[in-house]
Amino acid sequence: MEYDFNLRGKVAVLTGAAGVLCSQIAMGLAKKGVKVVLLDLADMKAKEIAERITADGGEAFSEKVDVLDKKSIESAADKILKKFETVDILINGAGGNKEEATTGRDKSFFDIPEEAIKWVFDLNLIGTILPCQVFGKIFAEKGKGSIINISSMAAFIPLTRTLAYSAAKAGISNFTNWLAVHMNQEYSPEIRVNAIAPGFLLTDQNYYLLIDKKTGGFTERGKKIIDKTPMGRYGKPEELPGAIIFLCSDEASFVNGVILPIDGGFAAYSGV
């Protein structure tokens, strides 16, 4: 058997595709010859990424989608099927956290608004389930497909302060396990559902939570993370696509229901 991780000609749909992580994944897939569809509420940014992929010789287009609106997802699915006739891969990258749902020195757990908790839960968990309903149905009808959800290290080890985010990501991991079994038992053994669990990757969103603005060194929180990471560094967004390519490929044909850490050993280290 040759291990070439060939994905050429496959059609991949990515939600949250305008974000730092999923845009890197989209570009990585495009380099493997995958036709990439970028779905995001931030449609102009998604369009820019699609144009960049096209300029580099890939094939991509974007569509404005609200992952909390099933009709919006279904409308996008109809357009994708008209253009490409099929979908082979779904990557659920829509998600995130918000300050209002996070504890801090000036915000007690007891004072976190219900609306903020629901916002984080809905975006991460419901925003993963609904695309799986729409595109999973396509996979069920054709008897083949690959779904990859984006979980987090916070699903394995709840992080201080981010109570809603940690719980929501744990829900994504659990849902990934459930859906992997459900799709095999009810529809086809050739439908696979897995997830990746990124560790601490340095992005624009968290940069100054982890890097001190004045010194350029680690913040107190950042130092705790590095001390708990055997590889002694943060990850980079461009280190995610390789794992995605593997999970999407035929070389991973017996990998199902897995939550794959990409964390520099963070989850493996007890601290002693």
pLDDT at 1: 62
DSSP E strands in 65-208: the ranges are 89-92, 145-150, 191-198
Domain range spanning residue 227? 203-234
In a shared domain, residues 103 and 46: yes
Report how far residue 266's alpha carbon sits from residue 272's, in angstroms, rounded to the nearest whole number: 12
Q: Which of 3, 165, 207, 269 is catalytic?
A: 165
Residue 153 lies in a domain: yes
Report how far residue 202's alpha carbon sits from residue 32's, in angstroms, rounded to the nearest whole number: 25
In a shared domain, residues 95 and 221: no
In a shared domain, residues 191 and 114: yes
In a shared domain, residues 121 and 222: no
Residue 23 lies in a domain: yes
In a shared domain, residues 71 and 181: yes
Model confidence at 266: pLDDT above 80:
yes
Give the mean pLDDT of 264-270: 95
Residue 3 lies in a domain: no
Quick: pLDDT tens for 59-93.
999 999 999 999 999 999 999 999 999 999 999 99
Quick: pLDDT tens for 4-40.
899 999 999 999 999 999 999 999 999 999 999 999 9
- Tally of structural domains, the chain: 2
165 part of the active site: yes
First to last CA, the chain: 41
Model confidence at 54: pLDDT above 80:
yes
